[in-house]
Amino acid sequence: MIGHKGYVSACAGGFLDNQSSIVVVTGSTDKSIRVWNPHSGQMLLSSDGAHENTISALQWDDLIPDQFLSASWDHNAALWKLTQIEGATSMALVRRFCGHTGAVWTIVTMKDKPWVLTGSADLSIRMWDRYSGACLTTNAVHKGPVRGLVVLPRLYLASASNDGTMLISIINQESAQIQKVAEIRDVHLGHFIYTLSGKKEGNDYLMASGGEDRRLVLTRILNSGVDEFAQEILHPGTIWSVMYLPDGDIATACSDGTIRLFSTQRERLSSEQEKSEFESLASSQNISQDKVDVSKFENAAIALQEPGSKDGEQRVVRRGDSAEVHRWSASSSMWEKVGDVVGNPAMTPKGNVSYDWTFDVDAGNGREMKKLGYNRGEDPYIAAQRFIDENQLSPEFLDQISEFLIQQVGEHMPRALSSGDTLTGASRYVPRTTNIPANSSEVHGLGPAPIRDQNLPHVPWKGGFISFSHSDQSSRIMGKITQLNQDSPSLSEAELSDFEKKILPVLSQGQGQLSAHQHEILACLLFKPTQLSFPLIDIARLYVARQDGSCALLDYDNGVIIQRVIGEFKRSDASLATVILGLRFLCNLFVTPRAREAARK
């Protein structure tokens, strides 16, 4: 089944037409959901843009046939209905579940209750009314992102988290509240738990879990609430997914690209030679550890809470007295532990200069790898600009490279950067204008550079006029606008809803029309604050690149909003990111004829 434009990150299967037709549903990093005939491999339909970010989980509906649920990094979950009429398959959105403030990693339904449960990177479990979409309760008993949920009989719920714990909770049928009844620690010796599955066995529950420690762990939860260790099976790599099958077998999906089946039925067991080969392969992956200076690395519990932004992105983190390397797998939508650090990456030479960190960067088109150097405490934008100048690259990649550095060295950034934008607080987002794939060891697609005298410190960009008229950060912009409007109300609830559903999509995509009232909403949003914050400058940047937007900004009180934007990034205390965004605003001021003429004057 081939057709997605990105990694396949979620998969589910179910029946249509009263159990007569089976289909497979897949989700991807390309933000689409596709439906397939598993027998022929034919794609029955594609729903592009089903979510605004990677599809992280899919689950067939246990209550209503022909329906399935999806979860995404866009902080939302959704319920969909599939219909087959005369051989044609269609898919319709039934309802969205909005309210999480982090990526939604897992979603489940209940067979006899109208409830949907989700687990998120915001550390919470939420329960929703499937018919109204209302959030019934929010439960934050975990200390890390919630990665797995399993509905058990008698309204019991099992959950697993990056905090290394497994919880057993009970749902109060009348109040719809979730109450913890048992906590199981050290199932994976403090390592992240990525996946969870369970089944009832007599009066007990048998839970299967997998995680970054490469172990499949079976835990028996007794009817009394006491847990008993049952068995563990070491794998050659991180276990991304585990599932109990109807016949009692267990299937695991491992980072080595292999699906394995485990059974208690002797007639189904593999040969002694195959078992020996598997055990040998698993044990051979153990990595030796040497003493390293781990104080410079960020705590694993913090660094690995958020999803990676690029496939292959690597992070070195601190766990206890050791340092570990983790790699982001877009196909599995999880961090994979690569191994332990056995050497100190600091003070790595690049030419005749030593840097605290160096990264190999692929400049594209088969050219040799380039070294990106960075020193502790350095402004990432300055380091990125230095790399661009040294390698004669397009200035449009400044954001991509600086964001990459922010992801890699985190806490070693200057304090103002690591704690967030000075105008908007800790919930920092970096506006981006390109969708060029990159990872921690490679940054692809930086484009060819003309061969020039390498002694020149700077070569002006001659690839044509560059505008910055699009954004892929809609959800983050909206989150900050909502927060700003709560602190200093500029818009009514109706206007805020209109901005989210109609205005922001038009601005972000650079297409579509705005009504006169919507122009008034934008003017109110941009004019009222005493100081323009980071997301408002971003909105002004998108707005001025439009014909109607530039005219509106020029006509509104003799261009006062334009002057305010320019004034913000000219402030002596403006952050470098604000200055860069303001310069993009100036670039976009030259996009339309009238604004270009006004700028020249």
CB 52 within 8 Å of CB 31: yes
For 399-412, how does the pLDDT look when each residue is reduced to its tens digit (9 = 90+)?
A: 778 777 776 665 45
Instruction: For residue 554, give the amino acid letter.
Output: L
Q: How far apart are CA 535 and CA 598, in angstroms?
A: 24
Helix (H, G, I), strand (E, B) or coil at 50: coil
What is the DSSP-derived secondary structure letter of residue 558? G
For residue 133, being part of any structural domain is answered with yes
Choose the final residue of a domain: 254, 284, 314: 284
Residue 493 lies in a domain: yes
Alpha carbons within 13 A on the beta-carbon side of 244: 20
pLDDT of residue 411: 46
In a 10 Å sphere around its CB, with 0-12 CB exposed, 13-18 middle and 19+ buried, how is residue 552 labelled? buried
If you average pLDDT over residues 560-585, what whole number do you get?
A: 81
Tell whether 325 is covered by a domain: no
The tally of CA atoms less than 13 A away on the side-chain side of residue 339 is 11
* Of the residues 228, 256, 284, the one at which a domain ends: 284
In a domain, 402, yes or no: no
Confidence band of 289 (pLDDT split at 50, 70, 90): very low
* Sheet containing strand 67-72, strands side by side: 55-60, 67-72, 76-85, 88-98
120-to-9, 124, 241 alpha-carbon distances in Å: 16, 6, 17
Q: Which residue has the higher pLDDT, 292 or 36?
A: 36
Q: Alpha-carbon distance 493 to 524, whole Å?
A: 14
**Residue 433, pLDDT score:** 36
Helices (H), 103-245: none
The pLDDT of residue 423 is 27
pLDDT attached to residue 125:
95
Check pLDDT > 50 for residue 287: no
Q: What is the pLDDT of residue 447?
A: 30
The CA distance from 129 to 478, in Å, is 24
pLDDT at residue 582 tops 70? yes
Question: 125-139, 149-163, 183-197: which has the minimum mean pLDDT?
Answer: 183-197
Is 271 strand, coil or helix?
Answer: coil
Taking a C-beta distance cutoff of 8 angstroms, is the pair 220, 205 a contact? yes
pLDDT digits (tens, 9 = 90+) for 446-456: 332 333 334 44
CA–CA dist 482, 479 (Å, integer)? 5
β-pairing, 298-299 vs 314-319, is: parallel
> Which tokens in the block code for residue 591?
């996009």
Cα–Cα distance measured from residue 39 to residue 23, given in angstroms and rounded to the nearest whole number: 9
Mean per-residue pLDDT, 362-380: 68
pLDDT at residue 288 tops 60:
no
Find the CATH number of the domain harbouring 181. 2.130.10.10
How many CB atoms lie under 10 A from the CB of residue 50? 20
**Which of residues 224, 253, 284 is at a domain's end?**
284
pLDDT of residue 409: 62
Residue reference for tokens 């267990």? 250
Report which DSSP code applies to 520: H
Strand order, beta sheet including 334-340: 298-299, 314-319, 322-329, 334-340
115 located within any domain? yes
Laid out side by side, the sheet with 193-201 consists of 193-201, 204-211, 215-221, 227-234
- At 367 the pLDDT is 52
Containing 251, the helix (H) or strand (E) segment is strand 250-254
Domain-embedded: residue 464: no
The contacts of residue 296 (CB under 8 Å, 6+ apart) are 346, 376, 412
| 401 and 363 Cβ atoms separated by less than 8 Å | no
Q: Which CATH number goes with the domain that contains 581?
A: 1.25.10.10
Number of domains in the chain: 2
Distance, CA of 213 to CA of 91 (rounded, Å): 39
8 A C-beta contact, residue 210 and residue 252: yes
Among the ranges given (268-277, 385-394, 520-529), the one the predictor scored with the smallest mean pLDDT: 385-394
Percent of the chain with pLDDT over 70: 77
By residue range, what is the domain housing residue 212?
8-284
Residue bearing the bigger pLDDT, 192 or 39: 39
Is residue 361, in this structure, part of any structural domain at all?
A: no
Residue 470 burial (C-beta neighbours within 10 Å; 0-12, 13-18, 19+): middle
* Residue 149 · residue 196 · CB < 8 Å: yes
Query: What are the tokens at 539?
Result: 């909105």
Give pLDDT tens digits for 440-482: 333 332 332 333 334 443 455 555 677 888 887 777 788 878 8
Residue 309 lies in a domain: no
Query: For position 531, what pLDDT does the model report?
Result: 61
The CA-CA-CA angle for residues 127, 128, 131, to 5°, reads: 155
Tell me which of 351 and 124 has the higher pLDDT: 124
Mean model confidence pLDDT for the chain? 77
Question: How much is the pLDDT for 424?
Answer: 29
Mean pLDDT in residue range 302-311: 75
For residue 108, what pLDDT is reported? 95
User: Does position 271 have pLDDT exceeding 70, yes or no?
Assistant: yes
Q: Is residue 348 within 8 Å of 354, Cβ to Cβ?
A: yes
DSSP lists the bridge partners of residue 83 as 90
Map tokens 């839970």 to a residue. 207
Q: Strands 135-139, 146-152: parallel, antiparallel or unpaired by DSSP? A: unpaired
Least confident of 45-49, 85-89, 446-450, 570-574: 446-450
The predicted pLDDT at position 395 comes to 62
* CA 598/CA 440 separation, integer angstroms: 43
Q: What is the mean pLDDT of residues 256-265?
A: 88
pLDDT recorded at residue 293:
59
Residues 136, 124: Cα–Cα separation, whole Å: 13
Residues forming beta bridges with residue 109, ordered by sequence position: 116
Per-residue pLDDT tens over the stretch 102-136: 889 999 998 888 999 999 988 899 999 999 999 99
Check pLDDT > 80 for residue 211.
yes
